[in-house]
Every structure is written in C-alpha cells, then in structure tokens.
Structure 1
Amino acid sequence: MPIEFTHVPGKTHPADSAVSFFYDFAETATRLALIEDGGFRNLVVDDPAGLLTNMDLAAQVLDRSSSLEVVLTHWAGVVEPTVAARQLASIDARSGGRLALRMISEPLSDDDAEARPVGHGVLWQRIDEYLVLLKRLWSNEQPFDHEGAFYSIKGGYVPRKGPHGADLVIRMGGQSGTALKVAGRHADVFELAPGSIDDVRQLMERVRSAAAEHGRAARLRFALPVRIHRGISSAGHKAVDVSGPPAQAALSLLAYAALGIDEFMIVGVDTPREIATVGRETIALLRNSLA
C-alpha cells in the first residue's frame, strides 16, 4: 500500500492563535480543497472545544469534501457508548465510509474520581471497555445487555449501522505497556511518538508484539507525526521535525518510510500557500522517490 499523508490542522486565525482551524468555514472550504488537491488523504479533527464539537466539525468537513477521510478525535466518558455508536455510524454512513476514529486518553471526570481511584491503568481499562461496546453495537443483530466496570447497558442496539460496521478504522497511540496492550487489541492504525530512527523502530516492534497477541500484527499500520518547515528545526514539538528545501525534507522522511511506516501526519502546514507548496513539492517528491 502506498504512503498516505494526513493533514493535522493547527491555528490559523490572523489575530488570535487560540482560534480553531475551522473558525470560518468559508475559508476552511478553500483550504480543504487545497488539502485534497495536494495529495493528503486524511484530515484530523481535534478541536479544543471538545468531543461534541469534533463530531459536528467532522460531519461538516465530510459534507464539504469529496475524497478526504476524516480522523475524528474521540475519548471515552463524554458520551455514552450507545449514543456515540449511533452518532458515529450516522456520520460514517452520510460520508460514504470516510470516517476513522482516533481514540485518545483523557482524565476521568470528578464524579468518577470520587467513585474509584484514578490512574493510568484505569483510563485505559475504560477505553478498552468503551471500544469493545462500540464494536458490539456496530455489529450486533439483536439488543444486548452489558454490566462492566465503567458502563451499564440494557438493550443496547444500533439499528442503522455504518458502512464499515464493526470495522470502522480505529487509531490509537501511547508508549506504556498498558496503552500498547489496549492498542494491540483494537488499533488498526498506531500513531507513533516522535523520536530518532531507533526510537521509532523500537516502539514499532513493541506495538507489533502487542498486536500479535491478538493475531492482529499483519493488519496494523503505522502513522508518524511530522512537522515540515523551511527554517531551522525547532524543539518542543510533539512531532518529528523536518526542515530545509523540499528535496531535503523528502529525503529525511524516506529514512522513516524504510522502517515500514505507512502514513505521515503533517503538522504545521495551515496557510493556503503552505498547503499548496508541501503538496506540490515535498509530498510529490516523496511519492516519486518511493515509486
């Protein structure tokens, strides 16, 4: 399968850097067209306003694009599994199957903290149960009951399944043994942490090992966050930093592609000029080199 490119929106408001990429959908529509034309296949929706806003934005992006697949950032605890399963199935159906779910860990609510100890393991146990329930709701032909550590469901059923059913693409990340155990069970795409070639290789081996325990190593794909810019590499970003002319940037990414990475998540490319330049130069050069 060829390398895919995913656009990770940043902040683009000229007067306020805290305003979302999607602050003005008239302008966003122009950028979406450039993103599609530039060779990006996916777009991440991860708005600071929260989960419900992400669902609304994902639906709008899918309505305003023809080929982009939307990676909807999502976490357990805000919406009950039955409600989330219906909403996600509906969005996926409306888009013709262009939705993917990006599960991240979030702190439990204050009410939950009073009921049980809060910790890293608890967060991932909740995510695990949540994903199990979503998949059951997307595949079951009859209502079912569930009583678990975090969720209680009576007569759970989603009558209108999405086109993928229980095979909606699930994206996850993490580095701890607990996180990798859950990702090995559920993730179709694993989003890698930034690091050196050796760091990334070692994490990929750990993830494959976790997926192999569930017979899923062969179907797992890897995505690497990458920041592309013209200036000198800057520290502090949660992405592999690539700088310099387009040919140099493409050469830097080739070394990571050789590890077996299937997707680059491009960060820091948000203005129309930046989107067009990266698409026309860096992405095209990398694709031609791999071909």
Structure 2
Amino acid sequence: MPLEFTHVPGRTHAADNSAPFFYDFAETATRLGLIEDGGFQKIVVDDTAGLLTNMDIATQVLDRTSSLEVVLTHWAGVIDPVVAARQLAAIDARRGGRLALRMLSEPLSDDDAETRPVGHTVIWQRIDEYLVLLKRLWSNDRPFDHEGAFYSINGGYVPRKGPHGADLTIRMGGQSGTALRVAGRHADVFELAPGSIDDVGQLMERVRAAAAEHGRAGKLRFALPVRIHQGASAAGHKAVDLSGPPAQVALSLLAYAGLGIDEFMIVGVDTPREIATVGRDTLALLRNSPARREAEVPQAGAFAPHPAQRMQARV
C-alpha cells in the first residue's frame, strides 16, 4: 500500500502569527490548492474555536477541494450523539465520502463531574459509548432507543445517510491500556505517539494486540506525526522532529515506514513556499522510495536514519 501524507496546519498567518491556518479562507484556498497538488491526501481540521467551527471549516475545505480527505477533530460530549451523527453523515454524503473523524479525549464537563467521578477511565468509557452510538446511528434502518452510562436516546435515527449508510473512517490515539482497548475496538487509523523507532514499534504491537481482541488486528492502519523544519515551525502539535536536506528527511521516514506505518502527518509546513518545496522534494522521494526498496531488497539497516540527521522525539 503506498504511503499517504496528511497536512497538519499550524499558525502562520502573515499578519498575525497567532492566527490559525484557516484565519482567512480566501488566502487558505490558495494553500489548499498547493496542498492538494503537492501530494497530500488529507488535511487535519482542528481549530481552537471548537467542534462546531471545525464542522463549518471542514465543509468549506471539502467544497474547495476535489480529492483531499478532511480529518475532522472531534470530541465526545460536546453535542448530542444523534445531532453529531446527522451532521457528520450529511457532510460526508454531500462531499463524496471524503470525511474522517479524529476522536480525541476530552475532560468531562463540570456538570458531569457533579454526577460521576472524573478520571481517565471514565473519559474513555464515554468515548467508547459515543462511538458505538455513532456507528449504530450511521447504519440503522429504523429508530432505536438506548440507555447507557452517559447517553440516553429515544427514537434515534439518521435520515439521508446514503443507500449504504455512513462509513466514516475513525482515527484515534493514546498510550494507556484503557485508550488502546477503546482504539482496538473502534479505530481504523491509529495516530502514534512520537518516539524512537523502537518505541513506535512497541506501541504498534500493543495496538495490534488490543485490536486482535476484537478480530481487527489486520484492519488497522498507522499514522505518525512528523515535524519538518524549514523555517518557522508550527506550534501546538507533538511530532517526531526532522530537519536537513529532503533526501535525509525521506531516508529517516523510510525507517519508520519499514515498521508498517502507512501515513505521515506532516507538521510545520504552512507557507506556500514550504508546502510547494516539501511536496516537490520530500514527499516525491518518499512516494518513489518504497517501490525502489521492494525492487532492490536492501540489506537490514539500509534505511536507518543517517548519522548526520538531527532527529528527536518531543513528548
């Protein structure tokens, strides 16, 4: 399976460095064209304004692109699951099935804290129930009732979701046993934590083991966040840090790809020049290298990071 690349926007507006990537959509539209033409298959929408703003941005991005998949950052508990399922299914159906859902953990609200203890396990239990309901709402052909630990639904149903229901890709992450159990049950793509090749490989094995409990070990794909330094760096995202000539960056990433990683989430590439350069150089090398690697069958260690390459994991 060919490598895929996801653009993770930072904050590099020309007039205000603190402004988000989608600050001015007239300017963003130009960057979206460069991202799409530069070899990226996906773009993350994760605006600090919140979930409803993210949904609006996702719709605009889908309207202004022809092939980019939008990875929409989402949280359980912000809006009712029936409302969320209807809105997400409608967006996905109208825009050709190019929407993916990126589920992040989020602390419970003060109201929730008054009725049940707040903790890591509780947060993931709510995410689990939320995803069960979304999937059921996207696939059911008649209304249903539900009474759970976090959600109560009476006559839940999502109309106009297409002849085959809604089938959004679910993306998740985490490192705790609780998080991995939920991800093993629901995730189609697992977003890995940054680390050395050994650390990342060990996490992948833990995720596969968790997915195997649900008969899904072979159904998971893996994505790794990577920050490529070319100048001003993006803020607010954790990623493996890389700098150097495109060939060295590509060589280092191939070592991670050898673990079975299917996707690199590229951070720190936001200006038109950075987007064009990385697309033309680094991504092109990475797209071509796996084919050459399979044809040449190199010896073990041939794709290890170059000693001169500066690479570290930021946590």
TM-score by length of 2: 0.89
1:17-37 Cα shifts (integer Å, max 9, x gaps): 321100111110000000000
**What is the root-mean-square deviation in Å for CA atoms of aligned residues?**
1.7
Q: Find the counterpart in structure 2 of residue 226 from structure 1.
A: 226
Superposition pairs for residues 135-214 of structure 1, below 5 Å? 135-162=135-162, 165-214=165-214
2: distance between equivalents of 1:79 and 1:122? 18
Give the whole-Å Cα distance in 2 for the aligned partners of 1:223 and 1:162. 28
Code of the residue aligned with 2:273 in structure 1: it is R
> 1:161 offset after TM fit, Å?
1.3
Partners of 2:197 and 2:64 lie apart in 1 by 37
Q: Deviations over 1:186-244 (max 9, x none)?
A: 0000000000000000000000000000001111000000001147x99x961011110
Residue type at the aligned position of 1:104: L
TM-score of the pair, normalised by structure 1? 0.97
Q: Secondary structure of 1:12's partner? A: coil
CA separation in 1, counterparts of 2:237 and 2:8? Answer: 13
Query: What is the CA–CA distance in structure 2 between the aligned matches of 1:59 and 1:71, rounded to whole Å?
Result: 11
Contact 1:97 1:163 in 2 (8 A): no
Q: Aligned partners of 1:162, 1:241: CA distance in 2, in Å?
A: 41
Q: Give the direction of change, closer, same or farther, for the CA distance of 1:28–1:157 in structure 2 (3 Å limit).
A: same
- The AA in structure 2 aligned to 1:85 is A
Quote the offset at 1:149 in angstroms: 0.3
CA distance in 2, matches of 1:15, 1:36: 24
Mapped contact 2:183–2:190 kept (Cα < 8 A): yes
- Report if the CA contact (8 A) 1:75-1:104 is conserved: yes
Partner SS, residue 70 of structure 1: strand
Whether contact under 8 Å (1:42, 1:68) holds in the other structure is: yes
Are 1:32 and 2:26 an aligned pair?
Answer: no
Q: What is residue 70 of structure 1 aligned with on the other side?
A: 70
Q: 1:193 to 1:112 in 2, by over 3 A?
A: same
Partner of 1:246: 246
Letter in 1 for 2:174: G
Contact 2:197–2:256 (Cα < 8 Å) also in 1: yes
Moved over 2 A (4+): 14-18, 162-167
Q: Which position in structure 2 is the counterpart of 1:83?
A: 83
Contact 1:172 1:191 (8 Å CA) reproduced? yes
Q: Is the 8 A contact 1:227 1:267 kept in 2?
A: yes
CA distance in 1, matches of 2:181, 2:237: 26
**Structure-2 residue corresponding to 1:92:** 92
What's the counterpart of residue 124 of structure 2?
A: 124
Instruction: Name the SS of the counterpart of 1:10 in structure 2.
Output: coil
